[in-house]
């Protein structure tokens, strides 16, 4: 029997600096009431000058490893999902691997925008389920504040910084029951950020900023997350009513509510923290998953659906059979972490 990729550790890191809607009122033509009505966001976190995707990833990873009671030296692989890496190369995962002291682990990055963490989680699970590796660390980490145009009301209200991590470990219980990943590159111009190596005929001094067609993305997001969730649930041999918890990408409260309604599930069955953190792209789902555990919303045997969408355009979903986190020999009782996840 093939091993299963059980989540044995969860971690998060949120920068200390809080940027409120009142703060944004001083930067662009907006208001707290308008932002909350349109997005559900009240505040978001912004990385300090000495923080980066790798430094935040290391902090989230340490928390996850501590919970799983795994020494970094025993990791087989480190996967980092990010669209805001420390640099073009080496991979941010290599910096994290070194920072953790995971000397025997391989390391690589995944860039699938807001679908990055789910893509990394599916990839890491395959390494375990095939028997190739026993312990894989998957991290989503973003410093999107550095690629946001702070004069663009359509994007600066939404995006922020955070890191979340999970430890995957070979086990006889728990882990993914199914996953689906999709992409439609014809919609790439609806949500993107160019980089320093982009085509010279389209590059300009602001080409690295996030650009988004908000109306198109809203319509796409609800349809994409609903269809992906239904596909993954059916692939797992389950029905919608079998799902105990939705952990959606935290992009916009209206999108989350509309997707839950489209699935026929009450909003109370969805994990929501977008009001406090905004859209943290690849970090969104692992941070929400950690906080769902902290709040006591994850129980052994629960069927949990992760679902997401993002630039690509990309979208996907995963169904998890939840098993208690912590070392294989014992369950861990949830305790509330500090805002920084330390």
Q: What is the DSSP letter of 267?
A: G
Beta-strand runs (E) in 2-116: 4-13, 17-20, 43-46, 77-81, 106-110
Max Cα separation, the chain? 59
Counting every residue, how long is the chain? 342
C-alpha 115/C-alpha 22 separation (Å) is 30
Q: How far is C-alpha 52 from the geometric centre of its chain's CA atoms?
A: 16
Rounded Cα distance between 94 and 209, Å, is 25
21, 111, 252, 279: which is the annotated catalytic residue? 279
Decide: 312 and 188 in contact? Cβ < 8 Å.
yes
Q: Are 12 and 341 in contact (CB under 8 A)?
A: yes
Other beta carbons within 10 Å of 237: 10
Choose the catalytic residue: 114, 182, 207, 342.
114
Q: Is 114 a catalytic residue?
A: yes
Q: Are 163 and 283 contacting, i.e. CB atoms less than 8 angstroms apart?
A: yes
d(CA 107, CA 99): 12
Examine the residue annotation and report whether 156 is marked as an active-site residue of this protein. no
Question: H or E element: which one contains 15?
Answer: none
DSSP string, 120-165: HHHHHHHHHHTTS-SEEEEEEEEEGGGG--TT-HHHHTTB-EEEEE
State the Cα–Cα distance between residues 157 and 136, nearest whole angstrom.
Answer: 34
d(CA 286, CA 226): 20
Please indicate whether residue 279 is annotated as part of the active site.
yes
The token pair that represents 72 in the structure block: 């970094």
| Residue among 111, 156, 249, 252 flagged as catalytic | 249
Which tokens belong to 186? 């014809």
Task: Give catalytic residue positions.
Answer: 114, 249, 279
């Amino acid at each position: 029997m093939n091993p299963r990729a059980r989540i044995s550790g969860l971690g998060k890191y949120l920068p200390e600096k809080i940027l409120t809607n009142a703060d944004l009122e001083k930067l662009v033509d907006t208001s707290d009431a308008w932002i909350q009505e349109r997005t559900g966001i009240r505040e978001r976190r912004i990385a300090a000058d000495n923080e980066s995707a790798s430094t935040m990833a290391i902090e989230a990873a340490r928390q996850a490893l501590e919970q799983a009671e795994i020494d970094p030296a025993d990791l087989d692989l480190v996967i980092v999902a990010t669209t805001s890496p420390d640099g073009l190369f080496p991979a941010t995962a290599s910096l994290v691997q070194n920072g953790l002291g995971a000397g025997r682990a391989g390391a690589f990055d995944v860039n699938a925008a807001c679908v990055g963490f789910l893509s990394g989680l599916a990839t890491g699970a395959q390494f375990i389920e095939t028997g190739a590796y026993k312990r894989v660390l998957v991290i989503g980490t973003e410093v999107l504040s550095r690629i946001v145009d702070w004069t663009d009301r359509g994007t600066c209200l939404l995006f922020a910084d955070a890191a979340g991590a999970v430890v995957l470990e070979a086990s006889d219980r728990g882990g993914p029951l199914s996953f689906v990943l999709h992409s439609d590159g014809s919609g790439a111009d609806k949500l993107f950020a160019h980089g320093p190596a982009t085509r010279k005929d389209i590059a300009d001094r602001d080409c690295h900023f996030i650009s988004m067609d908000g109306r198109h993305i809203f319509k796409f997001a609800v349809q994409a997350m609903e269809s992906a969730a239904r596909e993954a649930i059916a692939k797992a041999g389950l029905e919608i009513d079998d799902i105990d918890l939705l952990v959606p990408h935290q992009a916009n409260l209206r999108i989350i509510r509309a997707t839950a309604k489209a699935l026929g599930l009450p909003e109370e069955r969805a994990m929501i923290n977008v009001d406090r953190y905004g859209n943290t792209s690849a970090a969104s789902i692992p941070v929400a998953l950690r906080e769902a555990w902290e709040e006591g919303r994850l129980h052994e045997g629960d069927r949990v659906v992760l679902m997401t969408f993002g630039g690509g355009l990309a979208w996907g979903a995963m169904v998890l059979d939840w098993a208690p986190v912590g070392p294989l020999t014992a369950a861990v009782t949830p305790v509330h972490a500090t805002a920084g996840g330390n």
